[in-house]
Amino acid sequence: MAITQTRPQERPELAPIRTIRDVPVEEFYTSGHRTCQGCHSALLMKYLAKAAGPRTVTIGATGCMYVANTSYYATPWVIPWMHTQLGATGSAVIGAAAGYAVQQRKGKLAEEPINVIGIAGDGGGADMGLSAISAALQHTQYNVLIILYDNESYANTDIQASGSTPWGAVTAFTPSGTVKRITQDRWKKNTPGMLVAGHPEARYIGSASAAFGVDVMNKIRTALRVGGPTYLHVHDACPKGWDFDPRYSRELGQLAVECGIVPLWEVIEGELQYNGITRQIVEGRRKRKPVREYLMRQGRFAHFTEEDVDYFQAKVDEMWEKWILPGVLPVQALPEGLPKPGRRAAGLADGAGAAANGAVAP
Amino acid sequence: MAMTEVSRRFAQHEELITGTEAVAQALRLADVDVMAGYPIRPYDSVMSSVAKMIANGQMDADFIVAESEHSQFEIVKHASATGARVFVGSSGVGWMYAMEAIVVTAALRLPVVALVGNRALDDPGAFGVEHNDALMVRDSGWLLYWVAEGQEALDATLLAYRVAEDARVSLPCALSMDGAFLTHSQHLVLVPEKDLVEAFLPPYDLKKRRFHPDNPISIAPQYNEDWVMETRKQSDAAMRRARGVIAEAYAELKRLTGRGDPDPFVETYRVEDADYVLIGMGTVAMPIKVAVDQLREEGKRVGFLRIKWFRPFPDEELRRLLHGRKGVGVVDRDYSYGSTRHGGAVYNEVRSALYDLEDRPPVIGFIAGLGGREVSVDDVFQIEAKLEQAAAGDLGAESAHWIGVRGPVE
C-alpha cells in the first residue's frame, strides 16, 4: 500500500527571498509583546510571520514566546495564535492540520493551503515534547512546520538547564560552586540531527540562526513549500539567559556560527545543503574562529578555566573533523569496505531491489 | 416501551454488539471528523472499531495513531479548535498520563467527547474496573456520564455531542464505561439510521471561536490575576446551564428513538415506595436490581437509584427522591482515602446533596468491586442488611464499609 503523502504545491506567495528587498513589508507579529531587549526568539517570531504570511495559524507551546508574547488584550499576533501545552507542539499541529484537512475534504471549509506552524522552545521541544515532534514528523499526510526556538535554557522560568543548554553553562539549576565548578555536565543535544536521522519521510529538516534573517525566512518558506511535516531548529541569542548586553545579540548569534558551534544546514527531500558561513567552513573557504571568542563574552561561561575552554574547543573540533557529516551526524567512522549508497541495493534478493531503491509500490 | 409516532418515522435496526462497539456506531452516525487513539485496555476496542469502519469506507474521518495519551488529547483538542468534531478516550493510568491535556480542554471550553473505559489505577496492575480514573476530572469542568448498558452507550454518545457542543454549554464530555463488564460484553442494541441522528444532532459550529486564518484571534493568552477568576466563573455558569440543556436534549432523543428513562439524570428502580434505597453508578446496577427483586419477594421495601450524570451532579433529583427514606446506601466503585467518613467520592457527594433536607435519611457508604472484582447479588444482600443495621444505629455509621475484603486487612 502506498504511503499517504501530500505533494509539494505551487505556492507563489512562498517564493524564495533573494535579497532583503524581497521581504514583504507587512508585519503579522507586531507590538504588544514584552520580550526582553535583544530577544532573538521574538525576532524569529517576526521572521516566521513575515515569511509565512496571512494564511497561517501559529500554535505556541508554553515558554518565553507564550508567556512574554501573549498578555491578554495585548497580543502581538496579527495572524491566529493558540496556546498549547509545554510538550504538545507536535500533537497540536497535527490536530489542527487534521481538523482543516477533514473539514476541507467534507466541504465544511473552503479548500486552500493553510500554513500550520508550531512553535516550541528548547525545553518544550528538545526535552518534554521530543516524542510528540518525532510522531508529528511521521504523519506525512499533513502539512505542518515545527519551529524550535533554541535559546538554550528554560528561559521563561528563570533560566534552568535544558537538554539544549551548552556544556558548562551556568543556569539556575546548574550553578558554579566553590566545590563544583561545572554542574552542567551534559553536552548539548543535537536535536535537528537526531530528527534527520530518525525521520526519513520528513521532506524538510533544517538548522538556522536568528542572527541570519534572510536565511531563516527562506528556510521557513522552503519548509512550507516542500510540505508534509517539517522541522526547523533556530539558535536564538538570549541576553537574559546567556548574560550579555542586549546590544550584542546579533553579534553573538553570528559568532556561534563562525566558531562552528552552531551549523547552518538543511536537508531538503533527502539532500543535505550547508548554508552561508557554515558552507564556507565545510568547503574549506573559511577558518572557524576559536570558541573562546564566543564563550568569553557571556556571563554563563565566565567561570570557565583554560581547561574548560580547551575541552569545549576539542568537542567542537571533533564535530568538524571527525563526524562523517560535520555538524549533522555524530557518526565518526564507516565500516571498512562499505559500498557506496547507489550500489547497496545490488545485495538484495531479486525483486526486492526496486522497492528498496525508492519506488513506492501501490 | 412502545414507540412513539415520531420514532416510527426513523428506521432502527438491532445488532448484538459490545459497549465500545455501540459507541463506535454512534461515532459513525455523528460523522466525527478527527479521532486519536493510543492503546490501553479496555477503552481501546472502540478505536479498533472506528479504525476498521474508516478502512472499510463506512466512515469518513481522520484517525490518528498517537504516540502517547497526552498527544492523543492534545491532537483532538486542537482539531476541535479548528471546528472539527472529535473523539478520544483512554483508561486508568492512560487517562492520568493525559491529565494536563484533559484539564486544559475543559478550560478552553472545547466540546471534546471522550470515552473512559474505567480501569483501576496502577500499582499493582489490574485491568478491571474502578471509577477513580474518570473521577479525577470531577472538579475540572468536564461533563461526566456513567453508562450501564449497550443501548445507553450508543444513546449517551449522541447525547454527549449535542450537550457538549451546545453554545450554552461548550464543555467537554466524558462517557464512563465499566471496563470488561460493559466495554467487552455484548448487548442487543437498536442502531438508528443516519436521518434520526441528523434530526437530533446539529452541525458543530464554534462560530467566533474557530481557529482559522479568517478569524485572527489569540486563544488562551496569559491572564493571570486580571481575568482568570472571571473565566472560571464563566465555566461555572456553563456547567449550571448544562442541566437545562441535558434535559432538553434528552427529551428530544426520547421523542426520536422512543426510549429512555423518565429522568435524564438518574435511573430509578422500584424506588417509589422504598424504605431503603441503594445508589450506584455503571454496571453495578444489574446485581443490585436482581437483589432488589429478590428482597422485594421477601417483603423488604428496597429500591435502587443509578446516577447517570455525575457532572452536573443530580442534587435536585436526589433530594426529591430520597427525602424521608429510612436509609440510603451508596455503593462506590472507587475510594477516597482519608475523606469524610472514609467514604467514596459518590458517597460524599450524595450525603452532601441531602444535607439541607429536614427529613434527610441516614447515608451509609460502601466500597465494593474494586480492581474489577465482581459485585455479586450476595454482596448486595450483605450491603442491604448492613444498611438496615446502620440506619437503625446498630452498626457504625461513621465509617464506610468495605464489602468482600478477604482476611484481616489492617
pLDDT in tens, A4-17: 556 556 799 999 99
Count Cβ atoms within 10 A of the Cβ of residue A331 and give its class: 0-12 exposed, 13-18 middle, 19 or more buried.
exposed
B135 & B284 share domain = no
Residues B341 and B192 placed together within one structural domain of the fold: no
What integer pLDDT is reported at residue A351 of this predicted model? 52
Which residue, among B86, B69, B53, B166, has the nearest Cα to A99 in the 3D structure?
A: B86
Q: Give B199-256 pLDDT, tens digit per residue.
A: 999 999 999 999 999 999 999 998 888 999 999 999 999 999 999 999 999 999 999 9
Task: Determine contact, residues A329/A196, Cβ cutoff 8 Å.
Answer: yes
Specify if B409 maps to a domain: no
> Concatenated DSSP letters for B390-405?
HHTTSS--SSPEE-S-
Nearest by CB to B216, from A59, A80, A109: name it.
A80
Cα–Cα distance for residue pair B154/B38, rounded to 1 Å: 22
Among residues B233, B257, B281, which one ends one of the domains?
Answer: B257
Please answer whether residues B276 and B366 qualify as being in contact, where contact means their C-beta atoms are separated by less than 8 angstroms: no
Q: Is residue B65 in some structural domain?
A: yes
A4 occurs within a structural domain:
no
Answer for the pair A37, A246: CB distance below 8 angstroms, yes or no.
yes
Phi and psi, residue A53, nearest 5°: 85, -175
Percent of chain B with pLDDT over 90: 93
The reply to whether B139 falls in a domain is: yes
Q: What percent of chain A has pLDDT over 70?
A: 92
Closest CA to B332 of B129, B143, B121: B129
Rounded to an integer, what distance in angstroms lies between the CA atom of residue A296 and that of residue B226? 42
Does residue B212 belong to the interface with chain A, where contact is any CB pair within 8 Å?
yes
Of A77, A92, A139, the CB nearest to B218: A77
Paired with B65 in beta bridges are B37
CB–CB of B101/B76 below 8 Å? no
Query: A141 to chain B nearest CA, in Å?
Result: 10
Cβ contact B83–A85 (<8 Å): no
Q: Do B213 and A78 touch (CB under 8 A)?
A: no
Residue B42 lies in a domain: yes
Q: Is pLDDT at A150 greater than 70 in this prediction?
A: yes
Q: Let me know if residue A252 belongs to a domain.
A: yes
Q: Which of B61, B215, B222 sits opposite A80 (nearest CB)?
A: B215
Residue A224 inside a domain? The answer is yes
Cβ-based neighbour number of residue A134 at 10 Å: 17
Mean local confidence (pLDDT), A228-240: 98
Structure confidence at residue A70 (pLDDT): 86
Distance CA B252, CA B235 (A): 25
Whether residue B57 lies within 8 A of chain A, CB to CB, comes out as: no
Domain membership of residue B177 (yes or no) is yes
Contact present, A191 and A130 (Cβ < 8 Å):
yes
Question: Which residues lie closer than 8 Å to B91 by C-beta, 6 or more apart?
Answer: B40, B41, B42, B43, B44, B116, B117, B118, B119, B133, B179
Phi, psi of B27 (to 5 degrees): -65, -40
B217 touches chain A (CB under 8 A): yes
Could you tell me if B273 and B315 lie in one domain?
Answer: yes
**Residues B237 and B284 grouped into a single domain:** no
pLDDT, one tens digit per residue, over A193-217 is 999 999 999 999 999 999 999 999 9
Phi, psi of B117, deg, nearest 5: -80, 100
- B153 is a domain residue: yes
Asked whether residue B298 falls in the same domain as residue B212, the answer is: no
CA distance A303 to A309: 10
Number of folded domains that form chain A: 1
Say how far apart CA B30 and CA B27 lie, in whole Å.
5
**DSSP-derived secondary structure letter, B222:** B
Q: Which residues of chain A lie closer than 8 angstroms to B217, CB-CB?
A: 80
B310: CATH: 3.40.50.920
Q: Is B184 in the same domain as B271?
A: no
Do B252 and B273 lie in one domain? The reply is no
Alpha-carbon distance of A142 to A101, in angstroms, equals 8
Q: Which of B358, B354, B379 is nearest to B369 (CA)?
A: B379
* Residue where a domain terminates, one of B195, B227, B257: B257
Q: Quick one: pLDDT at residue B395?
A: 82
- Check which CATH number belongs to the domain holding A50 and give it: 3.40.50.970
Assign residue B238 the CATH number of its domain: 3.40.50.970
- Inspect the interface and report whether the beta carbons of B81 and A72 lie closer than 8 Å: no
> Could you tell me if residue A151 is inside a domain?
yes
The answer to whether residue A362 sits within a structural domain is: no
> Which residue in B404, B338, B317 sits closest to B369, CA to CA?
B404
Residue B121 is part of which domain span?
A: 5-257
Q: Do B216 and A70 touch (CB under 8 A)?
A: no
pLDDT confidence of residue B407: 82
Sequential pLDDT tens for chain B (410 residues):
445 556 556 889 999 999 999 999 999 999 999 999 999 999 999 999 999 999 999 999 999 999 999 999 999 999 999 999 999 999 999 999 999 999 999 999 999 999 999 999 999 989 999 999 999 999 999 999 999 999 999 999 999 999 999 999 999 999 999 999 999 999 999 999 999 999 999 999 999 999 999 999 999 998 888 999 999 999 999 999 999 999 999 999 999 999 999 999 999 999 999 999 999 999 999 999 999 999 999 999 999 999 999 999 999 999 999 999 999 999 999 999 999 999 999 999 999 999 999 999 999 999 999 999 999 999 999 999 999 999 998 887 679 999 999 988 77
- Cβ–Cβ under 8 Å, residues B57 and B28: no
Q: Which residues of A touch B (CB under 8 A)?
A: 54-57, 59, 66-67, 70-72, 75, 77-85, 87-88, 90-96, 98-103, 105-106, 108-109, 114, 131-132, 134-135, 139
Contact with chain A for residue B106, Cβ under 8 A: no
Segment A299-323 mean pLDDT = 98
CB-CB under 8 Å, B71 with A132: yes
- CB of B254 less than 8 A from some CB of A: no
In the sheet where B276-280 sits, what is the strand order? B266-269, B302-307, B276-280, B327-332, B363-367, B401-402
pLDDT at A356: 46
Share above pLDDT 90 across residues of chain A, in percent, rounded to a whole number: 86
Domain count, chain B: 2
> The cell 541570519 sits on which residue?
A212
Q: How confident is the model at residue A359 (pLDDT cuts 50, 70, 90)?
A: very low
B60 inside 8 A of chain A by CB: yes
Check CB contact under 8 Å for B62 and A102: yes
Give the three-class secondary structure for A276.
helix
Question: Mean pLDDT over all residues of chain B?
Answer: 96
The answer to whether the beta carbons of residues B222 and B283 sit under 8 Å apart is no
Say yes or no for a CB contact (<8 Å) between A82 and B78.
yes
**Domain, as residue range, for A346:** 12-356
**Domain assignment present for B407:** no
Calpha distance B325→B362 (Å, rounded) = 8
pTM of the model: 0.95
Q: Judge whether A219 lies within some domain.
A: yes
B327 is a domain residue: yes
In this predicted model, which residue has the larger pLDDT, A221 or A2?
A221
Mean pLDDT, to the nearest integer, of A152-172?
A: 97
Domain limit, last residue, from B222, B257, B292: B257
**Parallel/antiparallel/unpaired status of strands B186-192 and B12-18:** antiparallel
| Domain match, B155 and B79 both | yes
CA of A114: which chain B residue's CA is closest? B213
Element (H, E) at B255: helix B228-257
Residue A3 in this model has a pLDDT that exceeds 60: no
Q: Is A131–B216 a contact, with Cβ atoms under 8 angstroms apart?
A: no
